[in-house]
Amino acid sequence: MFTNMALRSVLRSSGSMIRDRSGVCPSLCPSLASAATATGSNLKTGGFAEKPLVRHYARAAKKTLTASPTLLSDLTPSMLKLDYADVPLAQTTNDLVKRLISLDLASHKEKLQLKKEMLISKVQRDENDRNSEEVRVAVLTARIRNYQDHLQIHPKDKANKRRMLMAVDKRKKMLKKLRLLRYEAFEKVCEQLGITYTFPPEYHRRVTRRWLAKKAFCLKVFKEVQKRKREEKLKMRQNRDTPKTTVIAVTGRLEQLQSFLCVSDVRLCGERAQHPTPGISVPRSRPNSMSNPVISHQPGAGGFGTNVQTGQWSTQLCACCSDIPICLLGFFCGPCLHCYTANKYGESCCLGILPGGMTAIRTHMRLTYGIQGSICNDALMTFFCGICESCRMAREVRIRNGEVDASR
């Protein structure tokens, strides 16, 4: 065992020496080189293999980017900053001060501001113009070109690329509006700022049978809807115009009929007065105290403020001595008094004993005689003071009919 290990170590050391010698000068010792080759092959077969040589493949040559003109390439370092451009003393200072206030030591922001002002001065309408469409297009142009210069150096900057595309879209909308409103100004802006305006591509859709059928159906529905709308508008216009003519015609007809009736009544009254017919008596006017007023308004909300309902009851609620028989009848037999009052007023005697009958009689009596009050007051009086109110109603009927003197 130990013998094999010693032999392996000797062979390993001798093989390494031969490789070194063969690598240093193979032409001087050809025998050693051939021995080393044989030994190496034996070593490979014996399990002592070398590490494979590393192959260095040729790399692709880097593409040299051609320097394209940038936004700030036309600004010379000797130009003054924007804040010192209009100062006369800045032109006569020494070289050190002039270098400090020039673009040689200016930041990118200051250079960009100067370039933006230069673009604005090309398209603005006057010296004080800062908010017109042309000025806003110039500002967006300076911003877009600054983004383009930045993306040439940093092509993977997605955020600034998105901002650039948004600015391009906004400028495109402004140019479209300016082209529609003032074409001469649109041409001037494109020429001064170096903008190439391209029209959007036309909308194209592949024509299919389904699309044609759907389009025809939509057009048919649209035409039907428009037709119905026109018919409805025509009907509304006719309905709006018809009532006016109808009201005018009916009003004129009523006026003619009323005048004809008035003339007929006058002639008839004159003929009756001159030639009275036997058996027919001409009505005579009654005294105002005994005549019944005409009710021109139905009872309802706000209907008691008319000039007719201004009267009062002939007697008070508790004026028992004014008509003693009625008071005695009510004291001993209230239902009999109710029936007597209803019958005396011209209604059925059974109405007096029905629930709410006396309330209805009192309301009708008050409206007939022109007495002030309300339906709520009628209900309360007949409910809480039924006998006394029935006596007063009976006295009122007898006084109106002339059976009892109101002065008693």
Nearest one of 136, 119, 142 to 173, comparing CA atoms: 136
Residue 40 lies in a domain: yes
Listed range (72-76, 96-100, 292-296) with the worst mean pLDDT: 292-296
Question: pLDDT value at position 350?
Answer: 79
Task: Classify residue 231: in a domain, yes or no.
Answer: yes
Same domain for 214 and 185, yes or no, is no
| Same domain, yes or no: 169 and 237 | no
Residues 146, 174 within the same domain = yes
Q: Are residues 236 and 185 in the same domain?
A: no
Q: Which residues pair with 80 in a beta bridge?
A: 102
CA dist 137 and 124 (Å) reads 10
Specify whether 347 is located in the same domain as 396.
Answer: yes
User: Do 139 and 219 belong to one domain?
Assistant: no
CA neighbor of 387 nearest in space, from 345, 315, 328, 323: 328
Number of H helices, E strands in the chain: 13, 0
When mean pLDDT is compared across 49-63, 87-101, 307-321, the lowest value belongs to: 49-63
CATH of the domain at 125: 1.10.287.10
162 is a domain residue: yes
- H helices within 27-182, ranges in order? 30-46, 95-100, 108-123, 133-153, 158-181
* 56 located within any domain: no
Residue 260: what pLDDT?
Answer: 58
In 10 A of CB 199, how many CB atoms? 6
Distance CA 41, CA 316 (A): 153
pLDDT digits (tens, 9 = 90+) for 159-197: 999 999 999 999 999 999 999 999 999 999 999 999 998
Q: Judge whether 96 lies within some domain.
A: yes
pLDDT tens figures, 255-293: 766 665 565 554 545 554 454 444 444 444 444 444 444
Same domain, 93 and 172: yes
pTM: 0.38
Q: Which domain holds residue 226?
A: 209-245
Residues 108 and 181 in one domain: yes
Q: Is residue 229 part of a domain?
A: yes
Query: What burial letters (b/e) apply to 277-313, b meaning 16+ CB within 10 Å?
Result: eeeeeeeeeeeeeeeeeeeeeeeeeeebeeeebeeeb
Residue 282 and residue 272 in contact, taking contact as beta carbons nearer than 8 Å: yes
Are residues 95 and 166 located together in one domain of the fold? Answer: yes
| Residues near 280 by beta carbon (within 8 Å), at least 6 away in sequence | 272
Any domain includes 115: yes
State pLDDT tens for residues 91-122.
888 888 888 888 888 899 999 999 999 999 99
Same domain, 15 and 113: no
Residue 98 lies in a domain: yes
Q: Are residues 111 and 156 in the same domain?
A: yes
Same domain for 114 and 170, yes or no, is: yes
Given a contact cutoff of 8 angstroms between Cβ atoms, the answer to whether 342 and 394 are in contact is no
Cα separation, 123 vs 129, whole angstroms: 10
Domain count, the chain: 4
Identify the band that residue 213 occupies on the pLDDT scale cut at 50, 70 and 90. Answer: very high
Find the angle CA(211)-CA(216)-CA(221) to the nearest 5 degrees: 125
Query: Residues 382-392: pLDDT tens digits?
Result: 777 877 877 88
Which pLDDT belongs to residue 265?
Answer: 54
